[in-house]
């Protein structure tokens, strides 16, 4: 499945733990040697009604704590399969409540974390203004670490060589667990244009948790309202920072194909 081109391989009810092996994940995620995807999602068995445990992995085999678009895709699949309008996905980071109205799937990504040790960063500092080489970033956690960098000129944003800059910033010494890097400009209509380098996956056409981080950072810096459209390479996501502190992510999902993997 994919959400705005941010694509996922989803395994349903996998009991065999060996399939979570990083080498297998890395191979099946390879776009030449395997199926190809940004992240791999494993739906595990659970005895709780309308609650589903999901493990999420980046294409390099590393486990991730949050994946907004992946959660929306899994939720859409499970809601259609079980004839539900809402459900909860239990991830390694938190519980994600998901709903669907028409074709729009929404996931509540929880409450952002801003303390340096919760993101985490390697040392105590002002997380709203973190020096990353030639850039300044607003750092926070949406179940995984993010660094949001604002670019004043839209042309400069579009011309950024993210494939060169992203890997360097992702593994900057300030991030002990590495980080997702978002580059953002405010458009004339006040919506937000975002390009992204994802931790463990590289440059992707969309990132749900990154869009949430972007809205929260922009709102905190008075660059955006608490509800806005995020314009990504793959299309638009809609983010709300609710009065209770949690953040919701809404957008379309698409099922591409399904099948079986044999020996």
Which residues are known to be catalytic? Answer: 67, 207
- CA dist 253 and 156 (Å) reads 30
Residues 6+ apart with CB under 8 A from 80: none
Alpha-helical regions (H) of 35-93: 68-82
Phi first, then psi, for residue 111 (nearest 5°) are: -95, 130
Q: Rounded to whole angstroms, what are the CA distances from 256 to 31, 73, 231, 259? A: 15, 11, 22, 11
How far is residue 178 CA from its own chain's centroid? Answer: 14
Contact between 34 and 27 under an 8 Å Cβ cutoff? The reply is: yes
Contact between 48 and 183 under an 8 Å Cβ cutoff? The reply is: no
- Residues found in the chain: 263
Q: Does residue 208 sit in helix, strand or coil? A: helix
- Bridge partners of residue 130, in order along the sequence: 137
Strands 6-12 and 2-3: antiparallel
């Amino acid at each position: 499945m994919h959400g705005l081109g941010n694509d996922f391989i989803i395994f349903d009810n996998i009991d065999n733990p060996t399939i979570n092996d990083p080498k297998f994940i890395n191979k099946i995620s390879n776009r030449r040697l395997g199926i190809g995807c940004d992240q791999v999602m494993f739906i595990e068995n659970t005895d709780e009604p309308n609650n589903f445990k999901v493990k999420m992995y980046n294409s390099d085999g590393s486990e991730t704590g949050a994946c907004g678009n992946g959660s929306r895709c899994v939720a859409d699949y499970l809601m259609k399969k079980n004839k539900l309008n809402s459900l909860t996905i239990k991830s390694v980071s938190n519980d994600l409540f998901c709903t669907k109205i028409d074709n729009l799937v929404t996931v509540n990504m929880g409450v952002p974390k801003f303390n340096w040790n919760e993101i985490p960063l390697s040392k105590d500092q002002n997380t709203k203004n973190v020096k990353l080489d030639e850039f300044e970033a607003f750092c926070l956690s949406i179940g995984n670490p993010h660094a949001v960098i604002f670019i004043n000129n839209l042309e400069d944003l579009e011309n950024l060589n993210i494939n060169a800059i992203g890997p360097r910033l992702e593994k900057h010494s300030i991030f002990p667990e590495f980080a997702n890097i978002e580059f953002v400009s405010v458009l004339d209509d006040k919506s937000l244009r975002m390009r992204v380098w994802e931790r463990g996956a590289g440059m992707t056409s969309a990132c749900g948790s990154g869009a949430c981080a972007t809205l929260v950072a922009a709102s905190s810096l008075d660059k955006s309202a608490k509800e806005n459209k995020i314009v990504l390479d793959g299309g638009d996501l809609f983010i709300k920072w609710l009065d209770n502190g949690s953040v919701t992510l809404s957008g379309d999902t698409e099922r591409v194909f399904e099948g079986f993997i044999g020996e």
